[in-house]
Amino acid sequence: MAWKGVHVTRPARIGLTDGQLTVDQDDGEARIPLEDIAFVILDEQRITLTGAVVAACMDAGVALVTTDQRHVPSGLTLPFHRHHRQAGVAAFQLAAAAPLRKRLWQALVRSKIENQAAHLARLGHSNAAALAAMTALVSSGDGGNVGARAARDYWRALFADFIRDDPSDLRNKALNYGYAVVRACVARAIVAYGLLPSVGVHHASQTNGFNLADDLFEPFRPLVDAAVATLVAGRDRTEELTRDDRRALAALPMGAARLGSETMTLLAATEKAAESMARAFETGDAKALVVPRFAPEAALAEPA
């Protein structure tokens, strides 16, 4: 099972040798068995790789994330037809009735709010309990938009003078980078379990090829938030993300999450969550869905 991520932040030539991904840079060459790799982030414009490398990554189920000149994640390449029952799983997903989709979205929103409240509780915020209580208000399909109301309270408590859509704010730069990395892992897991990433249970944009990934990603967001809050603490909001910042955020999938009674990596949690989503579609039971809970020990993992 893949358990590593590769983050390339300097000029490099990426190739293949004996089933290993080779990253050749001026100061030497690194080799990583392809079967160990879950994702590769190409965080530098001066990286060269061949079509054969891309094809090998797709064959091995490796997600490729590219960034633009400002080091903002801008693209995601995923394999397809990776599951032995691709058509069967997709058929259950496409046939899911509205009540099931609404119950799944209810569960995802509740889990996101629970994780947001757990994050605030760890930080000692007095309104954590009030936020947690909002989960009881989330109805099937979240018709009352409780998730959005909870988010407003959460951001006000988490960061002072914060506007989520301000692209110049260091906190948003870090959040967007971290979200992109973990969202890519969620999308990778969805494809691996035969699901169609474009067909969501709530998100339904005609221009979004990752509606289901955005749905399933919701409970993961507070886990990213916790790492970002640690990363930016005490820093000027006008700063840029440094290379070390990006390396730390790229290591997020190796951080801790809890599913049920188990503590595992975020990467493993994306796979368990995607598997349970496929099972929920097949059984027609939203209770089959399993998503991560905020782990008190959640923190930035050491970058590889």
pTM of this structure: 0.93
- Mean pLDDT value of segment 5-27: 96
On the question of pLDDT at 81 being above 80, the answer is no
Residue-averaged pLDDT of the chain: 93
3-state secondary structure 1-49: CCCEEEEECCCEEEEEECCEEEEEECCEEEEEEHHHEEEEEECCCCEEE
Segment 138-172, tens digit of pLDDT: 999 999 999 999 999 999 999 999 999 899 999 99
Residue 159 is classified by DSSP as S
pLDDT, position 94: 96
pLDDT, position 83: 59
Banded pLDDT at 303 (limits 50, 70, 90): very low
pLDDT, position 47: 98
Segment 164-194, tens digit of pLDDT: 989 999 999 999 999 999 999 999 999 999 9
pLDDT, position 296: 67
> By C-alpha distance, which of 281, 297, 277 is closest to 219?
277
> By C-alpha distance, which of 184, 171, 170, 262 is closest to 220?
184
On the question of pLDDT at 301 being above 90, the answer is no
Structural domains of the chain, with CATH? 4-77 (3.100.10.20), 86-288 (1.20.120.920)
pLDDT, position 141: 97
